[in-house]
């Protein structure tokens, strides 16, 4: 078994960043990350060199006094660019009676992220088991939507989607996967 070196980036090497926009936003000189979590006591930004089975190569602890505005956790990381693989860990109470199930060992997707990398060994069930799931969890990838070639899709994507053919999956910084949401049958439009 190979050992992996994990660097913890000192808070002083990472700028405070901005709470908006949410997600990973490319800016001159780096990337701004912002995510909402009302109940987290602290959040870590995880940077990966590879989405396939690697532990994070850098862990950026987000300090509540420098990287939190209201319920938004944010940081600007210099020298990052398109293609950076990342995720979060959120720490907080495990209080099922309050619908809070934080597990600081789980890699969480950025619900505001624009791209996702699925590792070859992806295992959704690992989120339910105790322990770290970094090797088998989906991760986000920093993307620039202005560089996407929409081609023939254009503006027709939004209006042409019907509720009967779509679903929305929510990712929350609670560590508990949310089911796909679909409108009730009465609310569905005919095909």
Quote the pLDDT of residue 146. 85
Question: Is-contact 14 60, C-beta < 8 A?
Answer: yes
User: How large is the C-alpha radius of gyration of the chain?
Assistant: 18
C-alpha atoms less than 13 angstroms from C-alpha of 161 in its C-beta half-sphere:
8
DSSP character for 44? E
Please state whether beta strands 7-8 and 42-48 pair in parallel, antiparallel, or not at all (unpaired): unpaired
Quote the pLDDT of residue 8. 54
The tens-digit pLDDT sequence of the chain (191 residues) is 444 455 555 544 899 999 999 999 999 999 999 999 999 999 999 999 989 867 899 999 999 999 999 999 999 999 999 999 999 999 999 999 999 999 999 999 999 999 999 999 999 998 889 899 999 999 999 999 888 776 765 554 444 444 444 344 444 454 444 444 444 444 444 44
Quote the pLDDT of residue 147. 84
d(CA 79, CA 47): 13
Question: Is-contact 18 34, C-beta < 8 A?
Answer: yes
Closest CA to 96 of 178, 169, 180, 176: 176
Task: Identify the residue whose tokens are 């590879």.
Answer: 50
CA-CA distances (angstroms) from residue 2 to 5, 59, 73, 185, 187?
A: 10, 19, 33, 51, 53
Residues near 154 by Cβ (< 8 Å), separated by ≥ 6? none
**Cis omega (within 30 of 0) on the bond before 21?**
yes
Residues near 78 by Cβ (< 8 Å), separated by ≥ 6? 13, 14, 15, 29, 30
Q: Which domains does the chain have, with CATH numbers?
A: 7-144 (2.60.40.10)
Task: Identify the residue whose tokens are 């850098």.
Answer: 58
Classify 79 in phi/psi space as left (phi over 0), alpha (psi -120 to 50) or beta.
Answer: left
In the chain, which ranges are continuous DSSP H helix? 157-160
Q: pTM for the whole thing? A: 0.74
């Amino acid at each position: 078994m190979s050992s992996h070196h994990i660097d913890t980036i000192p808070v002083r090497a990472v700028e405070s960043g901005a709470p908006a926009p949410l997600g990973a936003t490319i800016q001159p000189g780096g990337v701004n990350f912002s995510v909402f979590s009302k109940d987290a006591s602290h959040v870590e930004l995880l940077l990966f060199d590879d989405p396939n089975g690697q532990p994070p190569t850098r862990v950026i602890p987000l300090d509540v006094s420098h990287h939190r505005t209201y319920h938004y956790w944010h940081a600007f990381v210099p020298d990052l660019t398109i293609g950076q693989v990342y995720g979060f860990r959120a720490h907080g109470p495990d209080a099922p009676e309050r619908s809070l199930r934080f597990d600081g060992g789980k890699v969480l997707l950025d619900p505001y992220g624009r791209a996702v990398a699925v590792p070859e060994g992806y295992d959704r069930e690992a989120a339910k088991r105790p322990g770290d799931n970094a090797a088998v969890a989906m991760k986000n990838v920093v993307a620039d939507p202005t560089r996407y070639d929409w081609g023939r899709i254009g503006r027709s994507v939004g209006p042409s989607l019907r509720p009967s053919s779509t679903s929305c999956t929510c990712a929350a910084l609670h560590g508990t996967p949310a089911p796909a949401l679909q409108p009730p049958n009465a609310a569905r439009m005919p095909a």
